[in-house]
Structure 1
Amino acid sequence: MRPHVDQRQARVLSLVRARGSARVADLARELGISPVTLRRDVEAMAARGEIRRMHGVISRLEPDPAGAEHGGAGSGTGTGSGSGTGRGGGLVIGMVVPTAEYYYADVVRGAREVVEARGARLAVGLTRYLAGEDRTQADRLLSTGADGLLLTPNWEAGAPGPGEGAWTAELPVPTVLVERWAPPGHPAAALDRVASDHADGAARAVAHLAERGHKRIALACRETPTAGRLRTGFAAAVATLGLEPAPAWPAAGTWPAAGAGTAAGAAAPAEAEAFARTLDYLCAAVAEGGVTAALIHSDTDAIMLIPRLQARGVRVPEDLAVITYDDEVAELADVPLSAVAPAKREVGARAAGMLLDRLEDRGTGREGPRQHLDLLPRLTVRP
């Protein structure tokens, strides 16, 4: 009979405290339980502040000088508890992100793991993409004692628009931009930053489809902070590989009215209308434009589009091969989809490490140059 969950977790805690650290895979074998079960236990124990986890390894929390053990971070929408005695001991890292769900859930996890491992504490502020909320959350975190900020501003194009974003370079603490960038000459361009190279990710998808024999490939993506970089990489790869351009995305005002052969009614909200227009574009691109493959951002859009495409006579993958971008749920489609996955967790981890290094170097006279780090996404090909 399997031991009760409390007994099992108590055994894990005892072993980790005795050894200092242990690999999750090794412990699972030793205890005779599946890695999935142990990872679930580890998540629960870390959330309660009993252990520290990072990259497949769990370790005990060292006691502070008063003998009290420090807790781990709370949920992605809250703050960590306590601070440890590691290199970042006593530091509070503020993190401002649009949401702690979907894409940014992994970004926050990556940052939290590094912050905890180095004995600091993470506090998270959410903006929900509301105008001005990024600055409000940054100010709030600073007022509660944040020593540095990991910042994802609400820039619609992923970079600041005209007259936007200069405040990020005027913050009184070291700041690292996360999944955002600023053009040369903009004040925020002088900040450290870590981001996914979405242009490279789009290019990888195009190259893979071209290797499979596709000559005309379409890009379908709604307007998000990722879209501009996807279009840049997509267009560059099409030109470099000598592919035939797909039909142009219709300019604003040239779409048929919603409801005219679309899935949305005349009074449909903007989200449904944008989805219907994407469906119309892909159908026309296949039927009239000779398109045989598409890169679709995001996974959820692709999963919703595919049955609608098939209902309109476009077979997937026979008539249209599909690669999705994000790889959050692509493998959960009826037929698992190949997808490009930005290194979300690593983006958060690298950004947190960069900020902690900057904080530790401050005032020592050995502060290094600013860094702009782009992490390349990975393409996962599924049958």
Structure 2
Amino acid sequence: MRESAVQRHDRLLALVRESGTARIADLATRLGVSPVTVRRDVEALTRKGLVDRAHGSVSWPRPRTGKPAAGGTAPVIGLLAPSATYYFSEVIHGAHEAAARAGARLVLRISDYRPAEDRARAEGLLAAGAEGLLVAPGWRGRADPAEHGGWLAELPVPVVLLEREADPGGPLAGLDRVSSDHGHGVLLALRHLVEQGHPAPLLVARTDSPTALAVRAGYDRALCALGLERPHPVIDAPVNRDPEGFEIGVQALWTAVTSGRASAALVHNDVDAIQLVQRLAELGVRVPGELALIAYDDEVAALADTPLTAVAPPKREVGRLAAELLLERLGRASGPVGAGGAGGGTGSAPRRHLTLLPRLRVRASCGAAGAVEATGATGATGREHS
């Protein structure tokens, strides 16, 4: 199977992290691609703050602001993420910014959604000198936390879970965590579509990530809160994982729309939503003409031919607050969490579960009047609702 850009970016980051600095030509050889491809990848990763670029080489970013901790030593915190691109690039960027402000060093390792390897990678971060860990386990299915998560509660350093929930009463329930309230994001999307005059919207969502599972669970709660009945079974249309399954999902949505049973849908995630819109257009169903559509994640939704209205989890803020909370546990920062500093606690404060609310960015795909696009340095955005 051909390697995706996301997978190549993760491999590139791992190579740079290992060596500290690497030449473009050497990276091209080790990745098996052209130097032009590597330069393009490095430019994209540099814009996200994940690497530093110099003439002919690329290096791991170092804190540029802040001051060393007391005693002249910079604290080291580790971050284990399932990916360094798409959703988690913003989480990593937020954590890196918070660490830099505190004069701390952030060390990153990637699991590539292999939960069985999370423990070894976390131990690698500890071996590299990490005094505390930010951890977004590479869980995919409902059974993964129980099967691959118990070791987190046994670690000898403070741990903050990122964008992950723990089973009530389970071994991870007492850990600090910072996450997005995806149920609230789903409610924002469904309420907006209903207010535009649509009957109960359909949901198109995968089953292979914690976010997808949270969106599915939030869908039923949102329907209940709005006094609606589920109009159709949740449609699974996984583009990359199962092309045949994607086509089956497209046909199910096409049938629901053309039969008049549905006129609106929420789709997780952006990539699936964009390709779904393209395929539906080939079948004669236009967005937003015949189908009002909202995507979930808002990573690339604004770049679609018809810019997609999207639910935007506060990814960068999740990373920032998690890093601040971890530094507080380590007693290495000052100021309250959420106010640009992490408090001067010694780790004895009560554990915290911080839940941040997503926003709804209204663009053209939902057919809402007044959805005006504005293009700036950070890309296209529309009206926001929270």
Q: 1:366 to 1:247 in 2, by over 3 A?
A: closer
C-alpha deviation, 1:164, in angstroms:
3.5
| One of 273, 276, 298 as aligned partner of 1:305 | 276
Matched, 1:353 2:324: yes
| One of 155, 160, 165 as aligned partner of 2:139 | 155
| One of 222, 229, 238 as aligned partner of 1:237 | 222
- Once the two structures are aligned, what percentage of the paired residues are identical? 45
The answer on whether the counterparts of 1:94 and 1:141 sit within 8 Å (CA) in structure 2 is: yes
Q: How does 1:316-335 map to 2 (within 5 A)?
A: 316-335=287-306
Cα distance in 2 for residues equivalent to 1:205 and 1:345:
21
Cα distance in 1 for residues equivalent to 2:235 and 2:273:
19
The answer on whether the counterparts of 2:205 and 2:268 sit within 8 Å (CA) in structure 1 is: yes
Matched, 1:271 2:242: yes
What residue is the counterpart of 2:310 in the other structure? 339
Cα distance in 1 for residues equivalent to 2:303 and 2:137:
31
Cα distance in 2 for residues equivalent to 1:311 and 1:276:
12
C-alpha deviation, 1:250, in angstroms:
6.9
Cα distance in 1 for residues equivalent to 2:52 and 2:216:
43
Deviations 1:103-160 (A, max 9, x none): 1110000000000110010000011112422111100010121100000112214784
What residue is the counterpart of 1:187 in the other structure? 171
Q: In the alignment, residue 249 of structure 1 is paired with which amino acid?
A: V
Cα distance in 1 for residues equivalent to 2:215 and 2:321:
22
* 289-298 or 100-109: bigger deviation: 289-298
For normalisation by structure 2, the TM-score amounts to 0.71
Q: 1:317 to 1:135 in 2, by over 3 A?
A: same
Q: In the alignment, residue 380 of structure 1 is paired with which amino acid?
A: R
Cα distance in 1 for residues equivalent to 2:111 and 2:264:
36
Q: In the alignment, residue 85 of structure 2 is paired with which amino acid?
A: E
What residue is the counterpart of 2:67 in the other structure? 85
Cα distance in 1 for residues equivalent to 2:180 and 2:245:
25
Q: 1:375 to 1:207 in 2, by over 3 A?
A: same
| One of 195, 210, 231 as aligned partner of 1:225 | 210
Q: 1:326 to 1:150 in 2, by over 3 A?
A: same
C-alpha deviation, 1:238, in angstroms:
1.2
The answer on whether the counterparts of 2:48 and 2:93 sit within 8 Å (CA) in structure 1 is: no
What residue is the counterpart of 2:26 in the other structure? none
Larger radius of gyration: 1
Q: 1:147 to 1:46 in 2, by over 3 A?
A: same
Matched, 1:375 2:356: yes
C-alpha deviation, 1:47, in angstroms:
5.9
Cα distance in 2 for residues equivalent to 1:83 and 1:359:
19
SS at match of 1:226: helix
Cα distance in 2 for residues equivalent to 1:356 and 1:121:
11
SS at match of 1:190: coil
* 274-283 or 363-372: bigger deviation: 363-372
SS at match of 1:290: coil
C-alpha deviation, 1:199, in angstroms:
1.1
C-alpha deviation, 1:305, in angstroms:
1.1
Q: 1:314 to 1:197 in 2, by over 3 A?
A: same
Cα distance in 2 for residues equivalent to 1:116 and 1:349:
10
User: Once superposed, what is the RMSD of the aligned Cα atoms?
Assistant: 3.2
C-alpha deviation, 1:287, in angstroms:
2.6
Deviations 1:194-231 (A, max 9, x none): 01111111111001111111112100011222122111
Cα distance in 1 for residues equivalent to 2:145 and 2:99:
31
Cα distance in 2 for residues equivalent to 1:119 and 1:344:
22
Deviations 1:172-192 (A, max 9, x none): 100000011111111111110
Cα distance in 2 for residues equivalent to 1:156 and 1:242:
31
The answer on whether the counterparts of 1:80 and 1:123 sit within 8 Å (CA) in structure 2 is: no
Q: In the alignment, residue 111 of structure 1 is paired with which amino acid?
A: A
What residue is the counterpart of 1:176 in the other structure? 160
Number of aligned positions between the proteins: 304
SS at match of 1:122: strand
C-alpha deviation, 1:278, in angstroms:
2.0
C-alpha deviation, 1:234, in angstroms:
1.4
In structure 2, list runs of 5 or more residues that go unmatched.
1-43, 334-343, 364-370, 372-386
What residue is the counterpart of 1:114 in the other structure? 98
Q: In the alignment, residue 209 of structure 1 is paired with which amino acid?
A: L
In structure 1, list runs of 5 or more residues that go unmatched.
1-39, 51-73, 252-261
The answer on whether the counterparts of 2:223 and 2:230 sit within 8 Å (CA) in structure 1 is: yes
Q: 1:159 to 1:210 in 2, by over 3 A?
A: farther
Cα distance in 1 for residues equivalent to 2:238 and 2:124:
43
C-alpha deviation, 1:271, in angstroms:
2.5
The answer on whether the counterparts of 2:205 and 2:235 sit within 8 Å (CA) in structure 1 is: no
C-alpha deviation, 1:356, in angstroms:
0.2
Q: In the alignment, residue 226 of structure 2 is paired with which amino acid?
A: L
C-alpha deviation, 1:274, in angstroms:
2.9
